[in-house]
Structure 1
């Protein structure tokens, strides 16, 4: 996972930033703006859709270099991605950003006057959409772990469930938000809602198609394959020692 992350994380950061700049380019290329600030990622501005897209490309490169099947890797990563996104959303709380419509509910989020959008200055508390999404993601993490084990889902179907679950939650949470971006209103819906609908349908189609392959794949642990890989990548006495150990392993399932 660490070797794959070396590729996936930088690709994800670049993708997230590109998506943000493209969908809200007036912040950087509008009149009186400084285009160089598009590179200032420490000032905020990362889009999850772009991060997932290019992050997946980076993961694919890392998986190929390690001779790991991408579908197996994606299924293993899916629950952790939901947890990571849940933790990441608390950055919105500290930055007082991406909150929802005004509300008088007991868990309403207090927003500083200077952080409120134009037209909402008289309201003090708003829907904590960051919290809604964090809770939604944690529930989804537990759910897809259970479904994956209960029905022996494999061939990328656990990852497809992750995409469907996240998109289903993001669509209704997005409707609560009042932040504005350049592509905020497309045919009466926010851009994020359209993205959620399209990606949900694509993930659903993949889930149905992948179901034809049957239950989860056999364990990817293969002593002979690993020995051959070690011989290519780590030649020398250490590789030979590891080769003899893995070839003599009588219980590959337990090793997994």
Structure 2
């Protein structure tokens, strides 16, 4: 049990919270332990009858069947990549920004009469991760298709259209719109230039303490002392090692020739 706890603690905090929340909301409803009606968003029930928990649970009710497993894996991979890259040592900033993202999703889905926001939340995270990924980054979709990660949000929207119809795809489109606004307003579309709202996107002290990042916050990406990384870890292509043959008066070796640049065999 201690080993399992230790492994769970290795998962970045926001990734752990989001995935655990999804499991705690979705699994009981799939097992008919809790009625899905109890966790859906409804304006009157939330703001007139003060059933405020719906503001939280409506973001974590996933789809049914095997699709939920794929969605949960995608949620884990996407948030983990963000926390390991662009939000490294800044998980509290990610958590704080997600509060505004959640509110934006609720507003963006008003024309759609949205009651469940898991899909828009997932797509907004995917959009941000793809926008922050290095140029040329590739990703795998369900382990079957490899494609440039910048096309992943649109691929997800297309799959939602094919599998769920226009109404289902519209939820994903709303998430992509919010994700684009998130990227543009916080990170900025110009390399090296932060977004117009970036100064308001830094977590306050109470959020940093809640996530376990108390103390002075690290400098934001793009400034001295902070590395900029995308949401995907890129492994550079391997270099071919050249093994030079034996030279006069010397022993053979492997790797690069760091000498004066003369051709091998010359005295």
TM-score by length of 2: 0.31
Q: In terms of Rg, which structure is larger? A: 2
Higher RCO (Cα < 8 Å, 6 or more apart): 2
Q: Give the structure with the larger helix fraction.
A: 1
